[in-house]
Amino acid sequence: MQSDGRDPGQTLLLIGSPVAHSISPYLHNAAASALGLSCVYRAIDTPPEQLATVISELRSDRLLGANVTIPHKEAVIPLLDELTETARVVGAVNTLFWKGDVLVGDNTDVEGFLAPLSNIDIARQKVLVLGAGGAARAVIYALRKTSAIWIAARRPEQARSLLEGMGISGEVVSLDEAQDSVRDATLIVNATPVGGPGTEDRSPLDWPSSVEHNVLAYDLIYKPSPTRFLRQASEAGAQTIDGRIMLREQASMSFQRWTGHRFPAEVDIPSEQ
């Protein structure tokens, strides 16, 4: 037992900074409660200079596991014993779990992203991804078997190194050129923060007034919902998916790594989130 009376073997952490507004403690604690499990999930604000100490304590106290978020998803890698294949190729970790005595880093954003796409044939899609940051890496890895992929980024060299690092062939375009790809793409993913908190009146792409073909617009942003990007897409005749399913599913996959259980159906993101 820890000095505060908690059982370390039942303690889960969210390691990041800032973490105060994270929905993760709510989701994981609601799932544990619904399933009658005694694990407790808490967020600890961890500045970069404290990351190594927190991971060392997680090991010595033998905590049940952790999520890792901004800004530590890459920095945590050298502190772990092993990576899953997905985390290795994506180059980012969001979940820590034990395999025996081995501390493993995994990335559940990939499965989370794919969750609402289970009924589409990924291999037949022509994909336009906006952004080339951490989430875009998970998206592009998830979509690596598509028939065509364009990445639109304000820093083309970032997009090129992302594709090269994963050994995926695709075309890098500017955000302006991305407008031309809209008529060819069948799946358009916003993996930039544009349209999220503080930029609600903006969209990373101007949709035409109508689209002639079947196209699915997917915004990783979960708040607000819908974003301006999704509203315009819907007005143009596209199908839309917001980031809420991905958010819930990547959390549920992490929970499964630790407890063997997925989230029960009643555990969901509150509508005011």
Which candidate in 73, 99, 126, 223 is catalytic?
73
CB closer to ligand NAP out of 67 and 125: 67
| Nearest distance in Å: CB 8, ligand NAP | 28
Contact 240, 234 (CB under 8 A): yes
CA distance 245 to 247: 5
DSSP of 215-256: -EEEE---SSSS-HHHHHHHHHT-EEE-THHHHHHHHHHHHH
CB closer to ligand NAP out of 68 and 132: 132
Phi, psi torsion values for 235, nearest 5 degrees: -65, -30
First to last CA, the chain: 34
In the bound state, the residue with its beta carbon closest to ligand NAP is 133
Please, what is the Cα angle at 264 between 261 and 267, to 5 degrees? 125
Known catalytic membership, residue 99 = no
Task: Name the site residues for ligand NAP (rule: CB under 6 A).
Answer: 109, 112, 131-136, 153-155, 158, 175, 191-194, 196, 204, 220-222, 243, 246-247, 250
CB closer to ligand NAP out of 11 and 250: 250
CB closer to ligand NAP out of 54 and 110: 110
Instruction: For 57-207, list the strands marked E by DSSP.
Output: 65-68, 82-83, 95-99, 102-106, 126-130, 148-152, 171-173, 187-190
CB closer to ligand NAP out of 142 and 221: 221
Phi, psi torsion values for 10, nearest 5 degrees: -115, 10
Please give the structure tokens belonging to residue 171.
């075309």
* CB neighbour burial string for 17-27, b if at least 16 within 10 angstroms, e if fewer: bebeeebbbeb
Please list the active-site residues. Answer: 73
